[in-house]
Amino acid sequence: MLKNIVSSGSRATREGFGAGLLELGRQNPDVVGLTADLMESLQMHHFQKEFPERFFQCGIAEANMMGIAAGLATAGKIPFTGTFANFSTGRVYDQIRQSIAYSHKNVKICASHAGLTLGEDGATHQILEDIGMMRMLPGMTVINTCDFNQTRAATIAIAAHHGPVYLRFGRPAWPVFTPDNQKFKIGKALHLASGKDVTIFATGHLVWTSIEAAKELAEQGISCEVINIHTIKPLDDEAILDSVSKTRAVVVAEEHQRNGGLGDAIANLLVHQMPVPMEYVGVKDSFGESGKPLDLLDKYGLGKKDVLWAVKDVLDRKK
Amino acid sequence: MTDDTIPSSPSLAERRKQCNFYYMADFSKLHELCAQVRRDIVRMVFNVQSGHPGGSLGCAEFFVALYGNVLKHRPKPFKMEGKNQDMFFLSNGHISPVWYSVLARTGYFPVAELNTFRKLNTRLQGHPATHEGLPGVRVASGSLGQGMSAAIGAALAKRLDGDKRWIFCLTGDGELEEGQCWEAIMFAAHHKVDNLIVTVDWNGQQIDGPTDRVMSLGNLPAKWKAFGWDVLVLEQGNNLEAVIAMLRRAKRRTGKGKPVVILMKTEMGYGVDFMQGTHQWHGKAPNQQQFDSAMQQLPVTSLGDY
């Protein structure tokens, strides 16, 4: 039920990563951490403090960090690399492609400060193409978590999955609304609210935005199904088709370019299996800029109002 | 610079044999293996009219020395994690012909499989890969500058595990133009990765010409030293005994807080007169006439062609 989904307060998703990594460190001696001069930004200092011998500071040299992670994985370790999403993907694409993805290495690429909500640092750091780049790589698992609890659970879950993983999260404090004791299942969509008029598929920070929009739409008599797609690859085809066969209208919301992200992943599925009216909430082929996170989401069409409009647009087309 | 003399140790050979480790103590056999590897390289590249014979020929002694005599390794069953074994990473993946030949002839996979090099459905991809499950390869290489980083990662893992074996890595000299190499070189010194021996194939050639003209490496030994490595220079990289002696010497220099590099001078195309000492044969296959000439220069060995 939508109205039962409430925020218990705000915490950054990256803090969930830090907490999860520390727990993992205690559970599994093969887990090792690496950073490229962003240890505290990624909240990896908790792990580093308790397991200094299993943590490797790589300096400002991300390409080398990815290669070192590949080597550690080759010899049986489970490396977690931590840097900003921009430096975790675009800067090191070829290293990930050859040394990690093509070589089937069990490396967990953990990426913070993704998207516009990085804020004031501006477009140089606000990567909006990373999901696209990562989901194009064969064999790569791509996850974008929505709150502190989910990020913590996902961090723990990916260690038990053998293979390369891209785990994307963000910088700002954000409403926490998923259970703190949840089990995270890679590739399994999270059904948040049932509805009959439209399905909103959302990932990352925009899950909360979508919940708020759905609550407002409910007051207007529009019934939204809200599904959290935390795993963009492999996509939960079954859950998506189940929902769409019922609602016959789709809105996808993500903090990413419209090109290449979750929207395209779902469109790719639906165009083959169940073509229905669909709208994207995402950045329209543009770079970001400096500003406060919420102001940026508003300006670039990723706010609650944009989800509302997208729902209304798609319902018009459904008629 | 003089290379150390080579101690012969049949008892060690015997011990290794009992453990299923590959080890060849007989130097005449190692020389024969070198000769056969050269034939394999030229035949493989000629066979598919593609591949990289120049750098491969130049590194035949290095690979035979390493896999035949220096590495403690168990070809079968091949274990990706390489626990309690020495591990080798090839960064300049385009010299795959020499690596494949030596891997096959030291027991990693059937020698007959060399005939599939670069053909559809082969495990012997143009550049080395793990994707098809070829035993002996631990990480894909070909896009240059990445192998040293992977080697360092494996060295760190060995250290964490208390595994006293070594990590070896070969990189090209032109490849050192990639910035990632220097990230790795800096990292290894900072983290005192002293169970690592990197060898640079210092042949002075790259695709577009001599490295001095394309992008000068400057004073290479001084650069490595300045980055905090223990630097060894091997003048005779195409002298099998010298390579073996140098690799052993490098092993003795490990464990002292510094990573070790061997700057190994080789001649690209060594062993085939018209391929020797020029960048022209970096990535070119010989025609029939050239092939015949190469085969005359590289006599048949008792090991036999694949």
Q: Which residue has the tokens 């192998």?
A: B147
The answer to whether the Cβ–Cβ distance between A79 and B153 falls below 8 Å is yes
Residue A195 pLDDT exceeds 60: yes
The answer to whether the Cβ–Cβ distance between B153 and A54 falls below 8 Å is no
**How far, in Å, are A148, B36, B89, B104, B285 from residue B201 at the CA level?**
49, 21, 13, 22, 21
Is B267 in a helix, a strand, or coil?
coil
* Long-range contacts of residues A193-197, Cβ cutoff 8 Å, at least 24 apart: A193/A1, A193/A2, A193/A5, A193/A224, A193/A225, A193/A226, A194/A225, A195/A223, A195/A224, A195/A225, A195/A226, A195/A247, A196/A223, A196/A225, A196/A246, A196/A247, A197/A222, A197/A223, A197/A224, A197/A247, A197/A249, A197/A315
Identify whether A62 is a catalytic site residue.
Answer: yes
Nearest to A103 among B139, B155, B180 (CB): B139
Tell me if domain A10-175 and domain A190-318 are identical in fold: yes
- Tell how strand A231-233 and strand B205-206 pair up: unpaired
Sort out which chain A residues have CB atoms less than 8 A from B153's CB and list them: 67-75, 79
Nearest to B130 among A32, A54, A104 (CB): A104
pLDDT of A37: 98
Peptide bond into A234 cis (omega under 30): yes
pLDDT of A1: 83
Residue A216 pLDDT exceeds 60: yes
In this prediction the ipTM stands at 0.96
CA separation for the pair A11, B116 (Å, rounded): 56
Identify the CATH number of the domain defined by range A190-318. 3.40.50.920
Interchain contact B48–A (C-beta under 8 A): no
Q: Minimal CA–CA distance to B89: which of B157, B135, B124, B139?
A: B139
Peptide bond into A293 cis (omega under 30): no
> Which residue does chain B place closest to A100, by CA atoms?
B139
The answer to whether the Cβ–Cβ distance between B190 and A74 falls below 8 Å is no
Beta-carbon pairs below 8 A across chains A and B: 121
pLDDT tens-digit profile, chain B (306 residues): 344 555 555 566 666 665 667 888 889 999 999 999 999 999 999 999 999 999 999 999 999 999 999 999 999 999 999 999 999 999 999 999 999 999 999 999 999 999 999 999 999 999 999 999 999 999 999 999 999 999 999 999 999 999 999 999 999 999 999 999 999 999 999 999 999 999 999 999 999 999 999 999 999 999 999 999 999 999 999 999 999 999 999 999 999 999 999 999 999 999 999 999 899 999 999 999 999 999 999 989 999 999
Interchain contact B156–A (C-beta under 8 A): yes
Residue A186 pLDDT exceeds 80: yes
Q: What percent of chain A has pLDDT over 70?
A: 100
**Residue A114 in tokens:** 């993704």
Domain residue spans of chain A: 10-175, 190-318
Sort out which chain A residues have CB atoms less than 8 A from B146's CB and list them: 63, 67, 94-95, 98-99
> Which one is the CATH code of A10-175: 3.40.50.970, 1.10.10.410, 3.40.50.150, 3.40.50.300?
3.40.50.970
Instruction: Return the CATH fold of B27-297.
Output: Rossmann fold (3.40.50)
Q: Measure A100 CA to nearest chain B CA, in Å.
A: 8
CA separation for the pair A58, A1 (Å, rounded): 46
CA separation for the pair A192, B158 (Å, rounded): 45
pLDDT of B2: 44
Check A23, A62, A212, A255 and give the catalytic one: A62
Interchain contact B59–A (C-beta under 8 A): no
